Amino acid sequence: MKKGYLSLRNLSKQFGKQKALQEINLDIYQHEFICLLGPSGCGKTTLLRILAGLEKADGGHLTIEGKDITSVPAGKRNFGMMFQSYALFPNLTVSENIAYGLRNRLTKSQIVDRVDELLGLVELAEQCNKVPSQLSGGQQQRVALARALAFSPDCLLLDEPLSALDAKVRVKLRREICRLHKQFGMTTIMVTHDQEEALTMADRIVVMNQSRIVQIGTPNEVYERPNSPFIADFIGAVSFIETNNGIKGNPILAIRPEHVQLVREGHEKGRQGIVREIEYRGTHYRMVLELLDHLDSPLMQFLTVDLQAQAMGTFNIKLNQKVTFNLPPEHVIRFDTLSDIAVG
């Protein structure tokens, strides 16, 4: 059995009467990229702060390579941390910001060499003498990343580092973070509420809700095989369809929009619905169908369907048109209840 590099056992934290973390158990493997994903207030940032040593757990243990570091101060954990707010020194240059944490660790010549290396890695060599106010948001975040990597940390902890950036800058920076993660061979743990970031960056996603871990898995596992309606709804788009008018004991079906198959008129049989919404999204169209029963009466249930843009002309779909569709069994997820769908 694979042994955890960083192990969390029964961690708990409470602020007054508010439970921030409950029974957190997790093994993180060396060189792994983990994303802590969940809605606001789920406990993910509190957990990251406990890992960093910035917050003390009320109970439980934290070990790295078998050594208990639960009570080890933040400054002695050899963890690099990068914040959403950059936290750069405004009066120091780019080079000075990166070098700041190395002053008591390396000689002056070693610091110069290390800073030059990092400036090259984050593509900021030409900006080395500028202060933060002279940089763009993306450049400032790269300075913060270089500073977090400066002393070759055992673990890199990222607290929603990309959330304040523009969409295109976010995409570029998340690629850079993944590249540097692999290049340095670090163990990286990132907090995010952005499902796309988690799906594209993580080796494994740790989904949290209401102070607990609710699922751990690869991006494919949590997207294609969510273990609850909450996770199915939180990660990506999904439609829930009641069977037999919601009678207790009958399963709830869930399916992703891209898995619904539209059927051309005159071909294979299937279920039917009326197109109530059509939204153009560049690469595809997203439609909402109102489902019909076998008598063509509305069921007051709705299904989201994605159709590639080039296929839209083939189907010639219009608003209020009746269409036929199928739900491929291999992509249908079954749940007993929707009781936790609004939890978050």
The percent of residues in the chain predicted with pLDDT above 70, rounded, is: 95
The whole-number average pLDDT for the span 311-333 is: 92
Q: How far apart are CA 181 and CA 82, in angstroms?
A: 13
DSSP one-letter code for 78: -
For 7-49, the pLDDT digits (tens) are: 999 999 999 999 999 999 999 999 999 999 999 999 999 999 9
- pLDDT grade for 338, boundaries at 50, 70 and 90: confident
Same fold, 6-230 and 237-335: no
- pLDDT grade for 343, boundaries at 50, 70 and 90: very low
- pLDDT given at position 296: 77
For 68-83, the pLDDT digits (tens) are: 999 999 989 999 998 8
Least confident of 61-65, 202-206, 339-343: 339-343
Give the architecture-level CATH label for domain 6-230. Answer: 3-Layer(aba) Sandwich (3.40)
Angle at alpha carbon of residue 198, lines to 307 and 281, rounded to 5°: 25
Going from N- to C-terminal start, the domains of the chain cover 6-230, 237-335
Give the architecture-level CATH label for domain 237-335. Answer: Beta Barrel (2.40)
Averaged pLDDT score across all residues of the chain? 91
- pLDDT grade for 2, boundaries at 50, 70 and 90: low
In contact, 229 and 340? CB cutoff 8 Å? yes
| List of long-range contacts for 105-108, beta carbons under 8 Å, 24+ apart | 105/151
According to DSSP H, which parts of the chain are helical? 44-52, 94-99, 108-121, 137-149, 167-184, 195-201, 219-224, 229-234, 309-315
Q: How far apart are CA 119 and CA 319, in angstroms?
A: 54
Surface-to-core class of residue 151, CB atoms within 10 Å of its CB (0-12 exposed, 13-18 middle, 19+ buried) = middle
